[in-house]
């Protein structure tokens, strides 16, 4: 499941292998993949014809590829969200279509960029860039102070040099909700999904149901620091491939799965204290935590 480290791994791969190459043909094969683009899948493919990407940029779990200069739409980007199972794969040659191939961009030099997505929560769309309020770069990968319009409400992420982490901490402490909910709220801080939320809370020794407005500032700061730390470490391992739906642009899995301490480890001993990791329903999904290291709040 692609969260920040996985999307960043993909962004890096695209930046290395897919920039400044002319797109000779582009085809979006599924209406669902282009559902965010009002012109429809055929127009989306047509719009990419004979164009090139000149940067690959990421904020949180959003990735966008900026189109090279053309007077009428120089500030336009192909916005990519991988959803649950989206993959961008760089092909040296046009290969046989993968089972869930949703779009293919063929380069004039013979290679291709494939978008494969089993569960179809991912999408592609073309979007104008809008200025960032603070004038800082819109995301990692470009100096341009712009983001695609649908990304304007998404907060900066924990690996963004322009993030004001102290302000995020203050905002979290005003929220009347559980800390894990706040971590997963992409308008508060972006890039954290279920896996890294659980891992960050385990590291910080904070129970996922702890109320934001009852946590000491120190604890919230610790959670944010741990989240940044665990995602940086995961990035260094190429991300987490928990269920094989996440791979990099070359089709390789990430190696961080073996370093997980809580996520997916129900019934296994906590690597810190030996208590058995428990799993609970939370927000229509699962929370994994150590019942001894991460003390449950009295209420709720």
Residues in contact with DNA, shown as a per-residue x/- string from 196 to 235 under the rule CB under 7 A: ----------------------------------------
Q: Which residues of 7-35 are buried (b: 16+ CB within 10 A; e: fewer)?
A: bbbbbbbbbebbeebebeebbbbbeebbe
Q: Quick check: 156 binds DNA (CB under 7 A)?
A: no
106 or 160: whose CB is closer to DNA?
160
Q: Which of 60, 146, 148, 238 binds DNA (CB under 7 A)?
A: 60
**What are the structure tokens assigned to 10, written together?**
């993909």
Q: Which of 283, 292, 295, 296 binds DNA (CB under 7 A)?
A: 283
In whole angstroms, the minimum distance from the beta carbon of 175 to DNA comes to 4
Whether the CB-CB separation of 4 and 61 falls below 8 Å is answered with: yes
The sheet with strand 101-107 has its strands ordered as 23-28, 101-107, 112-117, 86-91
Of 13-21, 81-89, 124-132, 137-145, which segment contacts DNA by CB under 7 A? 81-89
Q: Quick check: 45 binds DNA (CB under 7 A)?
A: no
- CA distance to 37, 66, 101, 130, 188, per residue, from 152 (Å): 17, 16, 29, 7, 13
The DSSP call for residue 295 is P
The reply to whether 280 belongs to the active site is no
Binding site for DNA (CB under 7 A): 1, 3, 32, 60-62, 81, 83-84, 99-100, 118-121, 150, 153, 175-178, 181, 184, 186, 190, 193-195, 283-286
């Amino acid at each position: 499941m692609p969260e920040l480290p996985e999307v960043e791994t993909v962004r890096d791969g695209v930046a290395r292998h897919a920039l400044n190459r002319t797109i000779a043909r582009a085809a979006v094969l599924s209406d669902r993949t282009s559902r965010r683009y009002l012109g429809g899948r055929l127009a989306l493919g047509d719009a990419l014809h004979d164009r090139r990407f000149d940067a690959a940029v990421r904020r949180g779990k959003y990735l966008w590829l900026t189109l090279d200069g053309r007077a009428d739409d120089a500030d336009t980007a192909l916005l990519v969200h991988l959803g649950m199972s989206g993959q961008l794969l760089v092909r040296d040659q046009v290969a046989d279509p993968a089972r869930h191939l949703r779009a293919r961009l063929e380069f004039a030099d013979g290679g291709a960029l494939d978008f494969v997505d089993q569960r179809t929560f991912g999408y592609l769309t073309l979007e104008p860039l809008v200025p960032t309020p603070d004038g800082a770069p819109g995301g990692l990968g470009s100096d341009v102070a712009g983001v695609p319009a649908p990304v304007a409400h998404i907060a900066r992420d924990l690996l963004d040099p322009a993030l004001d982490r102290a302000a995020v901490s203050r905002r979290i402490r005003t929220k009347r909700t559980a800390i894990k909910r706040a971590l997963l709220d992409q308008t508060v801080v972006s890039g954290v999904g279920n896996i890294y939320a659980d891992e960050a809370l385990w590291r910080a020794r904070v129970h996922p149901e702890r109320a934001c407005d009852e946590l000491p500032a120190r604890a919230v700061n610790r959670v944010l620091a741990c989240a940044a730390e665990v995602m940086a470490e995961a990035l260094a391992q190429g991300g987490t491939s928990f269920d094989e739906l996440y791979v990099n642009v070359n089709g390789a899995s990430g190696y961080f799965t073996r370093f997980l301490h809580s996520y997916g480890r129900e019934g296994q001993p906590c690597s810190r204290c030996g208590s058995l990791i428990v799993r609970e329903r939370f927000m229509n999904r699962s929370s994994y935590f150590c019942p001894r290291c991460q003390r449950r709040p009295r209420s709720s």
